[in-house]
Amino acid sequence: MEDKRKSMELLHQKEKNAYEELLDLEGRLDLTRRFMKQLRVKEKKLETEQKIKEKSLGETDTQLIQYREQTKLRLREIYKHHRLNSVTVIFGTSSPVDLFRQFNLARMVLKRDRDNLERIQNIKEALEEKERNLKESRAELAQLEKRKTEEESTYSSGLKEKGRLLKQIRSEKNTYAQVVSELEKNATELENVLAGIQSRNSAGPVGAAERQDKIGSNTGEGFFIIAKGKLPWPIQGRVVSRFGEQINPQFQTKIRNTGIEIESASGEEVVAVSEGRVIYSSGLRGYGNMVILEHDDGYYTLYARLSEIWVSLNQKVDRLQTIGTVGEIGLSFKPTLHFEIREGKQPQNPLEWLR
């Protein structure tokens, strides 16, 4: 019994370490994907800028060729005209003063042509330098994106490996106690978030007109309650875990689910079931990326385990507006949305509200 107890303690510690590492990998993967998204935006901007520079360079080349041809023609005409005037002076049909004036005029024209050629050449060299810099920047971005892609692959492989390790460790049912403890801790953190939000909302009196403005112009008082049983689904998919006491499919332990889990396709868009205001848009341990919407009469909807968030804090959202997407991240392995409806802090059964 003593040997078994020590073995269980060792398994318990291994499970805890693997769980912590998996959460860390999940966070790194999310940051890497966000960074890669920013890189792609920057690369597209550089590509557009390079095309503009290439077009300007082409126009400058054309202008330079035109000036050179015009200068050649002028030189040829000046040469012919000068020869003709020299003969005219010799035979006395024109004065040396006229010839001198013509010569000065030709010299001024040639000087202007030379200045224009130098100016255009300088513009061309500057454009070529900028084009080289843009190509170097794009090459550096490509290298950075390659490294980040490799990091993403490493983190994804690490997540799968840690997931397999957790599954192996949790083959002993008694070791799942730590997982349940973590889930309870996460639920407590969520309760604290909601309590903080309600505390801020109750800090001062909010009139009907002000509440109307905060949530949405088309939302009347009691609208959310009236819509009970008629709300649209936040995502298309299959309910894999229902509201209330459930057997967790991953850990085979009894847990109290405060919402429902909806399994869907990777990249599927998550929509708001009713119009409201974003009061939380960030990550929360155990819930991943999460959005909480405030509706009228103290109702809230919660969307967790998002791979991407498309809305920001205090933003007003319309019914069926996309607020994010789901993806294969974290412990879920399959893209799964955790969805809750609450009246204040009290969880409601979402299946009684969705049509």
Most confident of the ranges 8-17, 146-155, 242-251, 325-334: 146-155
Q: How many domains does the chain have?
A: 2
- Rounded CA separation 118/116 (Å): 5
- Cα 231 from Cα 9, distance rounded (Å): 47
Domain extent for 234: 176-352
3-state secondary structure (DSSP) of residue 216? coil
Check pLDDT > 50 for residue 216: no
Q: What is the mean pLDDT of the chain?
A: 77
Check residues 337 and 78 and name the one with the higher pLDDT: 337
Both structure tokens of 85: 């005037």
The enclosing domain of 152 has a CATH number of 1.10.287.620
Q: pLDDT value at position 138? A: 80
Same domain, 117 and 186: no
270 vs 276: CA distance, rounded Å? 15
pLDDT score of 219 more than 70: no
DSSP state of 273: S
Q: Do 260 and 209 belong together in one domain? A: yes
Question: What are 338's strand-pairing partners?
Answer: 261, 304
Q: Do residues 188 and 226 share a domain?
A: yes
How sure is the predictor about 93, in pLDDT bands with cuts at 50, 70 and 90? very low
Gyration radius of the chain over CA positions: 36
Task: Read off the pLDDT of residues 1-55 as tens digits, 9 standing for 90 and up.
Answer: 455 556 667 777 777 777 788 778 778 878 887 888 887 888 888 888 878 877 8
pLDDT of residue 209: 44
113 has a pLDDT exceeding 70:
yes
Same domain, 289 and 257: yes
Distance CA(232)–CA(321), nearest Å, equals: 11
- 313 and 208: one domain? yes
Give pTM, 2 decimals: 0.54
Does residue 147 sit in the same domain as residue 285? no
Model pLDDT, residue 73: 78
Among 141, 169, 197, which residue terminates a domain? 169
Q: How distant, in Å, are the alpha carbons of 110, 112, 194, 284, 304 from that of 189?
A: 81, 77, 9, 8, 14
List all residues 6 or more positions away from 214 whose beta carbon is below 8 Å from its beta carbon: 206, 277, 294
User: How far is residue 66's CA from residue 27's CA, in Å, rounded to a whole number?
Assistant: 59
**Rounded-to-integer distance, Cα 202 and Cα 313, Å:** 19
pLDDT for residue 81: 61
Shared domain for 24 and 67, answered yes or no, is yes
Instruction: Please state the three-class secondary structure of 32-94 as a single string.
Output: HHHHHHHHHHHHHHHHHHHHHHHHHHHHHHHHHHHHHHHHHHHHHHHHHHHHHHHHHHHCCCC
Q: What is the pLDDT of residue 207?
A: 42
Query: End of a domain among 151, 169, 187?
Result: 169
Residue 203: per-residue pLDDT: 59
Three-state DSSP state, 1: coil
Lowest mean pLDDT among 1-10, 88-97, 216-225: 88-97
CA distances from 234 to 12, 110, 217, 304 (A): 37, 75, 21, 11
191 and 151 fall within a common domain:
no
257 and 181 inside one domain: yes
Q: What is the mean predicted confidence (pLDDT) over 65-81?
A: 73
Examine the domain organization and report whether 54 and 24 are in the same domain: yes
Q: Name the band, by pLDDT with cuts 50, 70 and 90, for residue 97.
A: low
Residue 246 sits in a domain whose CATH number is 2.70.70.10
Cα–Cα distance measured from residue 264 to residue 335, given in angstroms and rounded to the nearest whole number = 6
CA distances from 121 to 45, 57, 65, 125, 213 (A): 27, 11, 11, 6, 60
| 114 shares a domain with 33 | yes
Together in a domain, 110 and 196: no
| pLDDT of 85 over the 60 cut | no
Distances (CA, A) of 75 to 71, 105, 112, 279: 6, 12, 13, 76
Half-sphere exposure of 161 (CA within 13 A, CB side): 8
Least confident of 49-53, 234-238, 302-306, 320-324: 49-53
Interior angle at CA 127, CA 124 and CA 131, nearest 5 = 135
**Would you mind telling me the total number of residues written for the chain in this entry?**
355
- Among 169, 186, 216, the domain-final residue is 169
- Higher-confidence residue of 44 and 220: namely 44
Residue 284 has pLDDT above 60, yes or no: yes
